[in-house]
Chains A and B, each alone.
Chain A
């Protein structure tokens, strides 16, 4: 990269260090909620001796890495995604040694870190380039794109660009100052019609922690929030590159009445911050209930107690009484999750049998827990079966896992198994806010039994198109392939039940228009529809796989995931990125692990942590990053430790 004279000065100014990051550039292209992000960095070993040069990028857990390339002193390494076993064999043939790059799950809320490190002689030039793709999920009425920026030092050419293109137009775009006060003014937003451009380009001086400091203050998240124009309750159908994506996010509907049983873990481990934050959140959550809603509270440790044996209307008197009850809870004792959930389901069943439940209402259980069961049934797979057996089709279960010890896999599995979702929150200062935010996402169900259909023989390979509920502020997305047709119009029919009415909404679109529009766009991601379809399909297959009841089923799903991930070049738990030099002599392997916490039941055992090695040119010595916790376990960690093993687990 050619430095301008000013940058040259900056460059000289910071050249004192032995490693110089010449440029650090991040570019996100978001088209119709699908983001392709590229992180590029060029580094010089400006020291007098060989040394290790690292390139760490934090990416959202929900993203798929789609490529990583490296250029070390003119030798280019190009990545390609392959089946894990294939990639490993190719690597093994190269008989490479050591570890150089990998994706190590950083134990943080929802991201992982891509780490790579090369050891190069003095004067070496290295250029790293990482690509990853992800879908923006609409939560609480907006999409949020987070870029984790951590250049680690002052950079003469530091720049972040986020380009958003939304065919229906952007209704709002914001950049909350999550990166720190000193940068708020430096983030520029320009937006018109369907496009927005956010740029952050601080000079060296603006990057400093203080006027005379030499280290960078840039270490955090640049956040972009936006929403799109939408026609109240109509759907939005987009066709591009032979694929369609259907977005549905109605807003002008009255919420359905709710029947909620809050199941709160009050075992000894909840003592302190966790309980305090839970009580605080519950106060706000209870205030949100209306007289159209019905609710009760079950608090459990080794015993199971009910605030009210039956569901009661959300009147002010009942809510006040419930708040007082919650405030007086003293956590202690063991954890009997099974009994508590059985009790909650019984309460809903009883209310339903006594016709106390409005047929158009929504019945849900919200479980808040911080740990594993220690009393009563403690086998997680048995609890999962018990809950599944007693839960009725019209009930759903939402789980919130508080803290680090919780077996989040288990909570997620029982939620997904019962038409709900799970969320992990950490018992820190804003756990109450996280709990409230989670509840806000499920507190306004607007529709039940949503189905998105298409005329016969017009589409194929459709992702999930039947949804149990739609909550205000979220968005239901269906994707698929468009079959060849004489007509230039694709039509969808969305049926659903709202409070007091049933609705069918017809949405149609021209199948050629968007590609014409995208061809004019300079910064759109033209392959968005194809990649978004694959992304959604793979995500759904991965969750189907974790719920698959037999090894044969799991094997079939595994094959499908691998085929898709290789075709669309996604690094998933079942594929790996093989990065090879031009002459294919040098190889680097990167794959992505699963969560480190032991999974509960039939499902893929924890993926071996990073096993990333690469063949190195003679002049490159490999250094291994300091062993992390996980790696201390040595070889045995490489072997899966659990049941229903299928190839490629």
Chain B
């Protein structure tokens, strides 16, 4: 999947890809202080072309204090609290509240999960043509910057809730005339970055709108803490094991 991290203070967007394997569960937010974890499980496109594309097929949001998890897949939105399980399809607009959790499904479009009115996650459904030879239904996930996590928050996306200092300089022509290159200093690392763009599908699900960003190569190495494999967790409700 593609990641776009918006850095409001630097007024900059930074992108990277994670090329992992289908079935892997990537930890996106892990906040043991607030008891919230957001994980995404990868699926692959239909035909394994030479380059394996992976997408998010399932997104799980788990709120430990209530023991409630919301599992969003491309076919259903399921709520479970250990004792009862309720499953809704994308076929109907619905509003579900369970203690401090609110789930707002918009028919065949997206679902917003809000925890205690201060942490929100939006999952976007991408429905492709059933008979498409390669593409499969997949999910996008959008997490606002103003979520109120605890200081312990981490994860592929959660770690950026505390915005790192980033400076970009020495912008120059790259191999591809359309894509400039530059040097980025972040978290004590100097990275060669490329000017690119990726898609934000919230407003136009078909074509998406371009977000121009500095692209980090090697699965975000140097921009994210550690290596992306550090963020692979065993279960959909697993918190990240703090190093």
Contact = CB atoms under 8 A, between A and B. Distances in A.
A292 B84 CA distance: 11
Nearest to B87: A252
B95 A233 contact: no
A503 B95 contact: yes
B84 to A, nearest CB: 3
A7 interface: no
B95 A232 contact: no
Interface in A226-256: 231-235, 252-255
A633 B81 CA distance: 64
A233 B88 contact: yes
Nearest to B86: A253
Q: Is the interface of B mostly helix, strand, loop or mixed?
A: strand
Interface in B90-142: 91-99, 107
Contacts of A503: 86, 88, 94-97
Interface residues of A, number: 21
Interface string A284-311: 0000000010000000000000000000
B94 A498 contact: no
A506 B93 contact: yes
Interface in A17-72: none
A232 B92 CA distance: 9
B5 interface: no
B91 A500 contact: no
Nearest to B103: A501
Interface residues of B, number: 21
A210 interface: no
User: What DSSP secondary structure best describes chain A's contact surface?
Assistant: loop
Contact of B81 (A232, A500, A507): A500
Nearest to B66: A500
Interface string A467-505: 000000000000000000000000000000011111111
Contacts of A499: 83-84, 86
B210 interface: no
B238 interface: no
Contact of A502 (B81, B87, B97, B107): B97
Given A252-B86, A501-B86, A235 B92 contact: yes
Nearest to A497: B97
Contacts of B94: 233-234, 503-506
B72 interface: no
A500 B86 CA distance: 10
Given A254-B83, A292-B83, A506-B93, A501 B88 contact: no
A506 B92 contact: yes
B83 A501 contact: no
Interface string B63-88: 00000000000001011010111111
Nearest to A234: B92
Contacts of A255: 84
A501 B97 contact: yes
A238 to B, nearest CB: 15
B145 interface: no
Among A253, A501, A502, A508, which residue has the most Cβ atoms of chain B within 10 A?
Answer: A501
B159 interface: no
B89 interface: yes
Given A232-B76, A500-B81, A500-B98, A254 B93 contact: no
B113 to A, nearest CB: 13
A416 to B, nearest CB: 29
Interface string A508-545: 10000000000000000000000000000000000000
Nearest to B98: A501
A119 B84 CA distance: 66
A535 B49 CA distance: 59
B93 to A, nearest CB: 4
A357 B172 CA distance: 71
A167 to B, nearest CB: 14
A25 B83 CA distance: 53
A503 B93 CA distance: 11
Contact of A505 (B81, B87, B93): B93
A531 B87 CA distance: 34
A212 B68 CA distance: 70
Contact of A233 (B81, B84, B89, B99): B89
Contact of A231 (B81, B84, B86, B92): B92
Contacts of B78: 252
Nearest to A501: B98
Contacts of A253: 84, 86-87
A254 B98 CA distance: 14
A234 B92 CA distance: 5
Interface in B1-35: none
Contacts of A501: 79, 86, 96-98
Interface centre among B85, B94, B96 (most CB of A within 10 A): B94
Contacts of B95: 503-504, 506
Contacts of B81: 500
A507 B81 CA distance: 26
Contacts of B76: 232, 252
A612 B67 CA distance: 67
Nearest to A251: B87
Interface string B47-66: 00000000000000000000
A232 B87 contact: yes
A232 B79 contact: no
A445 to B, nearest CB: 12
Contacts of A502: 96-98
B89 A500 contact: no
Contact of B83 (A252, A500, A508): A500
A186 B87 CA distance: 41
Given A500-B81, A501-B97, A502-B97, A234 B89 contact: yes
A499 B91 CA distance: 21
Contacts of B91: 231-232, 234
Nearest to A505: B94
Given A232-B76, A502-B97, A506-B93, A254 B84 contact: yes
Contacts of A506: 92-95, 107
A231 B94 CA distance: 12
A504 B88 CA distance: 11
B66 to A, nearest CB: 9
B88 A232 contact: yes
Contacts of B84: 253-255, 498-500
A315 to B, nearest CB: 16
Contacts of A505: 92-94
A308 to B, nearest CB: 24
Contacts of B97: 501-503
Nearest to B85: A254
A5 B87 CA distance: 60
A254 B86 contact: yes
Contacts of B89: 231-234
A233 B89 CA distance: 7
Interface in A353-392: none
A233 B105 CA distance: 12
Interface of A: 231-235, 252-255, 292, 498-508
Interface of B: 76, 78-79, 81, 83-89, 91-99, 107
The 8 closest A-B pairs by CB, nearest first: A234-B92, A254-B84, A231-B91, A252-B87, A501-B98, A506-B93, A499-B84, A504-B95
24 contacts: A231-B91, A233-B86, A233-B89, A233-B92, A233-B94, A235-B92, A252-B85, A253-B84, A254-B83, A254-B84, A254-B86, A292-B83, A500-B81, A500-B83, A500-B86, A500-B98, A500-B99, A501-B97, A503-B96, A504-B94, A505-B93, A505-B94, A506-B92, A506-B94
Given A232-B88, A501-B79, A503-B97, 12 more contacts: A234-B91, A235-B92, A254-B85, A498-B84, A500-B83, A500-B84, A503-B94, A505-B92, A505-B93, A506-B92, A506-B94, A506-B107
